[in-house]
Structure 1
Amino acid sequence: MLDDVDRKILRLLQDDPSLSNNDLADRAGSTAQSVWRRLERLRESGVLAGQVAVINWHALGYEVEVSLRITLDKTQPRAFEEFTAAARLVPEVIEIQTFLGRVDLRLSVIARSLRDYQAIYHDRIITLPHLQEIEALVTIAQIKNDESLPL
């Protein structure tokens, strides 16, 4: 599916998504037109899903990250849909993941302080529908946070 030039272009974009098409072409050893066509093909095939700005939420004053493991009341037929719809509306919830097994979902919640987290938890989290059980894990340190693929 991907040839060596495609992989090189993707590696370059992972390292520096702000590279211009001409810079990508120079570094990939190709022409700007060829790189443009390859990028279009990668977008159309869904390999390249987009480019985003990564904002350092610590720099904006968010010092606390809590991972909440959620188990839902599965006796309610629409528990999953109603819970996730409500959780999406909580601005401090920056990630929602689903799982197979005892834990149904994981929410990643950020807060400015532990006191701020307590308010978010009390006012926005425990009021979410169909909660059966919550386990909170407070992040102490982030050892690795790299979404780059080994291309």
Structure 2
Amino acid sequence: MLDDMDRRLLRHWQADAGLSPAELADLTGLTAGKVSRRITRMQEAGIVQGVAAVVDWAALGYTVEVSLRITLDKTQGNAFDRFLEEARQLPEVIELQTFLGRVDVRLSVIARDMAHYQQIYREGILTLPHIADIEALMHVARIKSDEALPL
């Protein structure tokens, strides 16, 4: 579905999503009109799902990140659905992932400090339904964080 020029265009756009069609045209050797048409085609095909601002939450005062590995009590048929529905409502939960295996769900939780995390944990996390076990992993450093695809 993608040709070499599409991949080249996406490589440049992933590196800097703020580039205009004219700037992308200069980098790829296409005209701005052709760049716009290719971007529109990739958006309509669902390849490009949007362009977002990446906010550094640490710069906004969130200095703590905890990864919670949660095992659910699956004796209830709707355990996953109810848990995920309610976990989505917690604003400090910045990522939710589900797994096959002993761990069912992983949450990434951010907080301003440890006291704030303790409040989120007690008033938010522990009130979520169907939790059988929780393991908390405190983030020390983010070594690599890259959503760019190797195109």
Please give the TM-score of this superposition, normalised by the length of structure 1.
Answer: 0.98
Give the Cα–Cα distance (whole angstroms) in 1 for the partners of residues 52 and 58 of structure 2.
Answer: 18
Amino acid at match of 1:46: G
Residue in 1 that maps onto 2:10: 10
Residue in 2 that maps onto 1:47: 47
Residue in 2 that maps onto 1:115: 115
Residues 51-106 of structure 1: per-residue CA shift (max 9 Å, x gap): 10100000000000000001111001111111001001101000000001111000
> Is 2:34 the partner of 1:34?
yes
Residue in 2 that maps onto 1:103: 103
Amino acid at match of 1:142: R
Amino acid at match of 1:90: L
Residue in 2 that maps onto 1:79: 79
Where does structure 1 lack aligned partners over 5 or more consecutive residues?
Answer: none
Please give the TM-score of this superposition, normalised by the length of structure 2.
Answer: 0.98
Equivalenced residue count is 151
Residue 112 of structure 1 and its aligned partner are, at CA, apart by 0.5
Runs of 4+ in 1 over 6 A off after TM superposition: none
Residue 2 of structure 1 and its aligned partner are, at CA, apart by 1.4
Alignment partner of 2:58: what SS?
A: coil
Residues 7-44 of structure 1: per-residue CA shift (max 9 Å, x gap): 11101111110111111111110011111111111111
RMSD of aligned Cα (Å): 0.7
Residue 141 of structure 1 and its aligned partner are, at CA, apart by 0.6
Amino acid at match of 1:85: E
Residue 125 of structure 1 and its aligned partner are, at CA, apart by 0.3
Amino acid at match of 2:110: I
Identity rate, percent: 60
Residue 46 of structure 1 and its aligned partner are, at CA, apart by 1.1
